[in-house]
Amino acid sequence: MRHTISVLVENKFGVLARVAGMFSGRGFNIDSLNVAPTHDATLSRITAVLKGDDHALDLCIKQLRKLVNVVEVIDFADGAAVARELVLVKVKADSHTRPEILQIKDIFRAKIVHLSQDYLVIECTGEDEKITAFLGLLEPFGILELARGGRLALKR
């Protein structure tokens, strides 16, 4: 089962390693992991998407809450959060394929962030399913490079 966990932590050295170690020590596979400072420079938010069972997740959350530098832990149930993902994709685009790629970009409300004669770099944000569908439609044109960020989530 997939779980999205948000952990608000003090922005100090070694905190990420302890939190990630807690996940792996409990047998979770980390699908994605995002860490960045919040509007308060003394705090960072760790957003992790994990695969594992519910019982292990409950124990993991209890242990996370006991860590010294952890301020808050939230397990997002389905629908309890606004979640988005970001992808940057470099796709082959010549004069024949470019119009169709631009049409796909428009349908998904994506943006071109770099343009050359042979390829486009496109940025797209949205829910996981949207990103996967977008990449599926671009695949036949030839994806040259891909950078997919993990899920970010905030409580509704």
pLDDT in tens, 78-90: 677 888 999 999 9
The predicted-structure confidence for 90-99, as pLDDT tens digits, reads as follows: 999 999 999 9
Per 3-state DSSP, the chain is made up of helix, strand and coil in percentages (nearest 5) of 30, 45, 25
For residue 84, what pLDDT is reported? 93
Amino acid sitting at position 156: R
Helix, strand, or coil (residue 78): coil
Distance CA 97, CA 92 (A): 8
Average pLDDT, the chain: 91
User: Domains in the chain, start-ordered, CATH in brackets?
Assistant: 2-76 (3.30.70.260), 82-155 (3.30.70.1150)
Would you call 85 exposed, middle or buried from its count of C-beta atoms within 10 A (0-12, 13-18, 19+)? buried
The alpha carbons of the chain give a radius of gyration, in whole angstroms, of 18
pTM metric for this prediction: 0.81
The predicted-structure confidence for 16-53, as pLDDT tens digits, reads as follows: 998 888 888 877 788 889 999 999 999 999 999 888 78
Q: Which two tokens stand for residue 16?
A: 């990420």
> Quick one: pLDDT band at residue 9, thresholds 50, 70, 90?
very high
